[in-house]
């Protein structure tokens, strides 16, 4: 992974758009405290991980000075596995709506926050916390490696390497499994106690089921006999009902026939009236014949005039157009002649100013030559200025180097003077380190004693919790006594619900029959209403006539009766539903109470398991306290003398300025040969600059350029510029004279032609002889006579229908005679049917009595079915309890084996973590030693002991880092931190390769020499990390990096970035 560029828009400290281009090598990110240096790292992390990389609300990510309508945006470009990736994250608009896009090699592969996060997780394969620990090192990391106590260093390294998460997760899983297994054992034992002996209860249940089945068989036999009787009564009722329907159909046919007969008689009367109207129309047609002849004459004259009217209209329009063209061309001819006169006057003025134009062109030629000399003069002057600035810089650098050489010579004498004090300081340091080790043992003893007391206290707390759980179990036993009473009441409610549901099924059947009858009656009524009296009946295919009202009345009566039955059944159904709902609510209430009792039983099992777990925990705590006391005894006595340590520290502190001075002077005098070489190079550069300046001055004198002469020429040209412009304008206008003369002559010929054409058009209009007024008068008179023609046409149409009317009258008279015969036959059939309402009532009463007997039999059978269901359900429950008892016994044995396995796993996991930590410690030390050897060339081996103290080999012996100088300690800590980053990168073969490393404020309070050494060390790591970024608030280091990113805070609190790339 390699960083290419970063774009930030309104991100935290940065207002507006800020772009950063990243280069290879060592890059310094510099700026004051709070200016926004680390914000660049936060923007990179936010682009890669989104909201997971931010610890603040998203409202605070946006720059506080940006308006609500402005967007927040971060775009990161990087190289990964040979592909270029561009990640865009933004928050748009007032509501800060999130947006995310991912492009790979320019192709959009993911949009939306979730899709982009998932794709990046698939590509990078590293979490946010691991990314920060791997690629980002802070000053706090170095302090933890150097200054913390052994236990604190151990925890810090575990956290940095991610092993603390592995350890904690493994222990939490083991504890969770142990609690779950122990709780399951307690629940199983509690459940077995509740089940008890179920084998005897199963035998009683089987006898109750057998008895209930015999009683149910007898009830169903009786129900079948009564159902057969009900079926016979229903068939009798259907026969009587069919006779009633036949009687009603015959009555309806009779009414229809009578209505058809009356309709035929009315049709005959209508045809007689129409024949009388036809005879009257013949006399009216004779009277209109005179007006019709006059109309024909007018139309003949209009047709003769109509042939001339289009030609007359065309000639009038042409005359108007010729007159308009003649007026327009006359105006254009006047304007052309006036313009031609003005152009001829301007020819004289052009010849008068021609000498001034020739002088203007000569002056311009001279000015061009002067401008080329001026450009060369300015170029030479610029070269002289730069060379003189280079000479002054060389003189200043030479003076500075000479002063540094004098200082380094004095430093050599001072080193020889303070060397004895440095030896004394080393002796004091050895004794101080011994006392510090004894102090660490003393602090360890204090911590162990505190841990032992805490373990004893927690063991006592566990015993108190066990007593509380025993009291809670006793309370639960008191609350589960009423379970048998609730089970009995639940069985009674189930029987009542079964009876009510049987009644509801019968009511639903009756409702369905009544609704079907209502739908049939409504459908028949709608069909009759849609048919007119003259239409044919859909059943018998005879005309409806007077039968239509009777049929409508019949179907309305049937529909009303069905609706009344539906209302009564709905009322009974509502009451049945209310009883069912009430029973179900009471049943649910009982089940809730039974569920609560079951929960109490389960809770009792959980409490038993928790009590066993607490007892085991108390034993663990007691064992832990005994182990800690054993560690205290193993440490033994401590030889720690605080007053002596204070005296030694004071003596060492008094010598520390001399030691630090010795170290700094030793580093400085190493630069003396290099400074002497720089002095010789600077003297040579100064001589070259002086020679170059002399050569340029000579070339300027030879050029002979004068600014005064150039200004005089420009002023003269400016005074002649107005005459030049007037000459150019007149010259262009004079060229237009031939075209203007030609245009005027063409207009004169066009005007003459138009006048001749106008005379020709007026002659044609007079020769045509068309009178528009006469044409309009004849047209009005013809329109008034057209009404008589319309009336005559209507009369002719009525005369043409006479034969059809007479034929229709004869057919209607024949149909009336046929209908009289059908009416007589329908009356005879109605008398022969002999339908009786008394017989229909007797059939209904018999069916109702048989139905009541059937309902009583069904209810009895239903009660017996409920009793059988309860008995079978109880037997099934007892069998399930027996199977559950066997399953619980097997599960209890399995859970006890699982507890033993988990205990063994905890011991193995602790030993495995210790082995991993030893291996990690050794690999990090080996890698850090190689890095330190590369950057110093002096120390090649590092060791990390069991207390996680860093030791460095010197002449075959390992020493703690406190033995070395401040600059060496910083290099050692950075080497270890870089080795940790390398180790984190190697955790996965498919994980991210070596790419970049970000170091935040690692210079601390170091002096100039230490900072220079640290920068040289970072620069030497470029083979491991092509990109290294060092964040610092120290401005003096600005010129010592390959590239510099300077963060500057503005007066309004926002920041900007200045990039210096080399």
pLDDT band at 645 (very low <50, low <70, confident <90, very high): confident
User: Please, which contacts does 406-415 make with residues 24 or more away whose CB atoms are closer than 8 Å?
Assistant: 407/668, 408/668, 408/669, 408/671, 408/672, 408/675, 409/672, 411/665, 411/668, 411/669, 412/665, 412/669, 412/672, 414/661, 414/665, 415/662, 415/665, 415/666, 415/669
Count of C-beta atoms within a 10 Å radius of residue 700: 15
pLDDT band at 990 (very low <50, low <70, confident <90, very high): very low
Helix (H, G, I), strand (E, B) or coil at 640: coil
Query: Which residue has better confidence, 593 or 87?
Result: 87
Asked whether residue 474 is assigned to any structural domain, the reply reads yes
- Let me know the angle formed at the C-alpha of 362 by 357 and 364, rounded to the nearest 5 degrees: 95
Same domain, 502 and 558: yes
Q: How far apart are CA 458 and CA 460, in angstroms?
A: 5
Compute the CA torsion angle 138, 144, 147, 153 (nearest 10 deg).
Answer: -160
Same domain, 333 and 422: no
In DSSP notation, 821-840 reads HHHHHHHHHHHHH---HHHH
pLDDT above 50 for 489: yes
> Where is the domain boundary, 748, 769, 790?
769
Tell me, yes or no, whether 521 and 427 share the same domain: no
916 pLDDT band, cuts 50/70/90, is confident
- Give the pLDDT of residue 90: 92
Tell me, yes or no, whether 560 and 433 share the same domain. Answer: no
Q: Which of 94-108, 698-712, 1031-1045 has the highest mean pLDDT?
A: 94-108
Boundaries of domain holding 615:
483-635
| 101 — pLDDT class (breaks 50, 70, 90) | very high
pLDDT exceeds 50 at position 991: no
- CA-to-CA distance for 393 and 400, rounded, in angstroms? 11
Higher pLDDT, 544 or 517: 517
Asked if 38 and 136 touch (Cβ cutoff 8 Å), the reply is no
Residue 729, in any domain of the structure: no
- Tell me what pLDDT residue 988 has: 45
Residue of higher predicted confidence among 145 and 658: 658
For strands 1027-1032 and 25-30, give the pairing.
Answer: parallel
Mean pLDDT of the chain: 76
How far lies 52's CA from each of 37, 42, 101, 132, in Å?
Answer: 20, 11, 17, 12
Report helix, strand or coil for 5: strand
Cα separation, 1042 vs 759, in Å, equals 99
Q: What is the pLDDT of residues 542-589, one digit of tens each?
A: 555 566 676 677 777 877 887 888 888 888 888 888 888 888 788 788
Q: Summarize pLDDT for 717-738 with one digit per residue, the tens.
A: 787 777 777 777 777 777 777 7
One domain, residues 340 and 360: no
pLDDT one-digit tens code per residue, 782-839: 777 777 777 777 777 777 777 777 777 777 778 777 777 777 777 777 677 666 777 7
Tell me, yes or no, whether 512 and 619 share the same domain. yes
| Pick from 31, 37, 138, 21: nearest CA to 1037 | 31
Between vectors from CA 383 to CA 379 and to CA 386, what angle results, nearest 5°? 140
Number of domains in the chain: 3
Q: What is the pLDDT of residues 668-686, one digit of tens each?
A: 777 777 777 777 878 887 7
The answer on 360 and 426 residing in a single domain is: yes
The pLDDT tens digits for 233-271 are 777 777 777 777 777 777 777 787 778 778 877 787 787
Task: Say how far apart CA 688 and CA 394 lie, in whole Å.
Answer: 10
Which of 317-321, 341-345, 1009-1013 is the least confident region?
1009-1013
pLDDT value at 592 more than 90: no
Is 648 part of any domain?
A: yes
- The tens digit of pLDDT for each residue in 1012-1059 reads 777 777 777 777 788 888 888 777 776 778 888 888 888 777 888 888
Q: How far is CA 364 from CA 358, 724, 731, 847, 1031, in A?
A: 10, 12, 20, 133, 61
The answer to whether position 438 is within a domain reads yes
Q: Tell whether 499 and 628 lie within a shared domain.
A: yes
- C-alpha to C-alpha distance for 921 and 371, rounded to whole angstroms: 77
Backbone angles phi, psi at 648, to 5 degrees: -60, -40
Residues in contact with 320: Cβ distance below 8 Å, sequence separation at least 6, in sequence order: none
Which pLDDT belongs to residue 104? Answer: 92
- Same domain membership, residue 658 and residue 753: no
| Residues 551, 523 share a domain | yes
Q: What is the mean pLDDT of residues 756-761?
A: 78
pLDDT at 959 over 50: yes
- 694/322 Cα distance (integer angstroms): 90
Last residue within a domain, chosen from 625, 658, 674: 674
* CA 66 vs CA 19, 61, 229, 1054: distances in Å: 17, 11, 92, 10
Whether 497 and 613 share a structural domain:
yes
Residue 317 lies in a domain: yes
CATH number at residue 582: 1.10.287.510
- Whether residue 347 is contained in a domain is answered as yes
Q: Does 22 reside within a domain?
A: no
What percent of the chain has a predicted confidence (pLDDT) above 90?
4
pLDDT number for residue 835? 66
1002 pLDDT tier (thresholds 50, 70, 90): confident
Across 211-220, 472-481, 907-916, 1043-1052, which has the greatest mean pLDDT? 1043-1052
* Residues 1058 and 28: beta-carbon distance below 8 Å: no
Pick from 724, 744, 769: which residue ends a domain? 769
> pTM for the whole thing?
0.38
The proportion of the chain whose per-residue pLDDT surpasses 70, expressed as a percent, equals: 87
Predicted confidence (pLDDT) per residue in 115-142, tens digit: 998 988 888 877 777 777 777 777 666 5
Residues 343 and 360 occupy one common structural domain: no
Q: Which pLDDT does position 992 carry in this prediction?
A: 46
The single residue listed with the structure tokens 């159909």 is 249
Residue 682 lies in a domain: no
CA distances from 214 to 207, 491, 590, 677, 863 (A): 11, 20, 31, 124, 13
């Amino acid at each position: 992974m390699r960083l290419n560029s970063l774009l930030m828009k309104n991100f935290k400290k940065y207002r507006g758009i800020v772009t950063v281009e990243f280069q290879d090598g060592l890059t310094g990110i510099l700026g004051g405290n709070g200016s926004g240096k680390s914000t660049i790292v936060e923007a990179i992390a936010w682009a890669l991980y989104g909201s997971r990389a931010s610890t603040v609300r998203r409202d605070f990510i946006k720059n506080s000075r940006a308006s609500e309508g402005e967007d927040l945006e971060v775009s990161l470009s990087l190289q990964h596995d040979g592909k270029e990736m561009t990640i865009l994250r933004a928050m748009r608009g007032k509501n800060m709506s999130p947006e995310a896009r991912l492009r790979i090699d320019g192709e959009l592969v993911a949009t939306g926050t979730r899709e982009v996060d998932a794709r990046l997780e698939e590509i990078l394969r590293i979490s946010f916390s691991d990314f920060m620990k791997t690629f980002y090192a802070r000053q706090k990391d170095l302090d933890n490696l150097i200054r913390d106590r052994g236990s604190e260093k151990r925890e810090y390294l575990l956290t940095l390497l991610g092993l603390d998460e592995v350890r904690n997760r493994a222990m939490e899983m083991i504890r969770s499994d142990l609690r779950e297994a122990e709780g399951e054992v307690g629940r199983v034992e509690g459940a077995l106690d509740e089940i008890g002996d179920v084998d005897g209860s199963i035998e009683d249940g089987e006898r109750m089921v057998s008895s209930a089945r015999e009683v149910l068989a007898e009830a169903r036999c009786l129900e079948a006999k009564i159902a057969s009787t009900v079926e016979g009564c229903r068939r009798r009722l259907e026969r009587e009902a069919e006779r009633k329907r036949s009687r009603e159909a015959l009555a309806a046919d009779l009414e229809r026939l009578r209505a058809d007969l009356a309709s035929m008689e009315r049709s005959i009367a209508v045809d007689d009236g129409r024949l009388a109207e036809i005879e009257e129309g013949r006399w009216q047609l004779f009277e209109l014949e005179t007006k019709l002849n006059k109309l024909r004459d007018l139309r003949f004259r209009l047709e003769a005039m109509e042939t001339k009217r289009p030609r007359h209209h065309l000639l009038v329009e042409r005359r108007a157009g010729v007159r308009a063209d003649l007026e327009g061309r006359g105006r254009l001819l006047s304007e052309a002649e006036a313009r031609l006169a003005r152009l001829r006057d301007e020819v004289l003025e052009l010849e008068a100013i021609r000498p001034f134009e020739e002088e203007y062109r000569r002056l311009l030629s001279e000015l061009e030559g002067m401008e080329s000399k001026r450009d060369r003069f300015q170029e030479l002057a610029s070269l002289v200025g730069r060379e003189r600035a280079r000479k002054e810089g060389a003189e200043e650098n030479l003076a500075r180097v000479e002063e540094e050489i004098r200082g380094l010579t004095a430093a050599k004498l001072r080193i020889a003077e303070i060397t004895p004090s440095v030896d004394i300081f080393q002796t004091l340091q050895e004794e101080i380190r011994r006392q510090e080790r004894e102090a660490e043992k003393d602090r360890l003893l204090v911590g162990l004693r505190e841990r032992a007391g805490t373990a004893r206290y927690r063991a006592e707390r566990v015993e108190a919790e066990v007593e509380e759980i025993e009291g809670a179990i006793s309370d639960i036993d008191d609350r589960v006594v009423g379970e048998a009473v609730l089970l009995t009441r639940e069985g009674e409610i189930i029987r009542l619900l079964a009876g009510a549901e049987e009644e509801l099924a019968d009511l639903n059947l009756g409702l369905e029959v009544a609704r079907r009858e209502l739908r049939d009656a409504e459908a028949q009524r709608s069909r009759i209403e849609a048919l007119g009296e003259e239409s044919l009946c859909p059943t018998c295919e005879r005309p409806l006539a007077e039968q239509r009202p009777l049929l409508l009345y019949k179907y309305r009566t049937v529909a009303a009766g069905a609706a009344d039955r539906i209302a009564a059944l709905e009322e009974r159904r509502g009451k049945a539903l209310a009883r069912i709902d009430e029973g179900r609510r009471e049943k649910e209430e009982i089940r809730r109470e039974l569920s609560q009792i079951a929960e109490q039983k389960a809770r009792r099992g959980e409490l038993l398991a928790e009590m066993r777990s607490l007892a085991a925990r108390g034993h663990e705590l007691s064992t832990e306290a005994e182990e800690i006391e054993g560690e205290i005894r193993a440490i033994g006595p401590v030889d720690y003398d605080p007053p002596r340590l204070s005296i030694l520290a004071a003596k060492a502190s008094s010598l520390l300025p001399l030691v630090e001075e010795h170290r700094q002077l030793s580093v400085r005098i190493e630069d003396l040969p290099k400074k002497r070489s720089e002095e010789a190079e600077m003297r040579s550069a100064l001589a070259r600059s002086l020679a170059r300046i002399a050569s340029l001055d000579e070339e300027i004198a030879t050029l002979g350029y004068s600014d005064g002469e150039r200004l005089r020429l420009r002023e003269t040209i400016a005074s002649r510029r107005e005459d030049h412009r007037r000459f150019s304008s007149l010259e262009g206008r004079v060229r237009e004279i031939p075209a203007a003369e030609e245009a005027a002559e063409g207009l004169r010929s066009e005007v003459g032609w138009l006048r001749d054409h106008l005379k020709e058009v007026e002659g044609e209009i007079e020769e045509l002889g068309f009178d528009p007024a006469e044409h309009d008068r004849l047209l009005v008179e013809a329109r008034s006579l057209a009404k008589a023609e319309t009336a005559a046409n209507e009369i002719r149409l009525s005369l043409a229908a006479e034969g059809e009317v007479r034929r229709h009258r004869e057919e209607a008279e024949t149909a009336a005679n046929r209908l009289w015969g059908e009416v007589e036959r329908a009356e005879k059939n109605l008398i022969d049917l002999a339908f009786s309402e008394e017989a229909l009532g007797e059939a209904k009463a018999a069916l109702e009595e048989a139905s009541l007997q059937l309902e009583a039999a069904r209810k009895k059978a239903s009660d017996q079915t409920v009793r059988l269901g309860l008995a079978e359900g109880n037997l099934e429950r007892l069998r399930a309890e027996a199977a559950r008892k066997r399953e619980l016994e097997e599960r209890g044995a399995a859970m006890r084996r699982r507890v033993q396995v988990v205990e063994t796993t905890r011991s193995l996991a602790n030993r495995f973590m210790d082995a991993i930590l030893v291996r990690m410690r050794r690999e990090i030390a080996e890698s850090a030693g190689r890095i330190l050897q590369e950057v110093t060339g002096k120390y090649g081996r590092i060791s990390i002991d069991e207390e996680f103290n860093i030791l460095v080999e010197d002449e075959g012996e390992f020493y703690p880092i406190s033995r070395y100088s401040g600059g060496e300690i910083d290099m050692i800590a950075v080497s270890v931190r870089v080795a940790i980053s390398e180790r984190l990168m190697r955790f996965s073969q498919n994980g991210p390769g070596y790419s970049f490393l970000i170091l935040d404020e690692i210079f601390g309070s170091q002096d100039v020499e230490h900072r220079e050494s640290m920068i040289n060390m970072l620069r030497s790591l470029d083979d491991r990390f092509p990109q290294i970024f060092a964040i610092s608030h120290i401005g003096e280091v600005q010129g010592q990096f390959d590239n510099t990113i300077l963060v500057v805070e503005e007066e309004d609190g926002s920041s900007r970035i200045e990039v210096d790339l080399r």
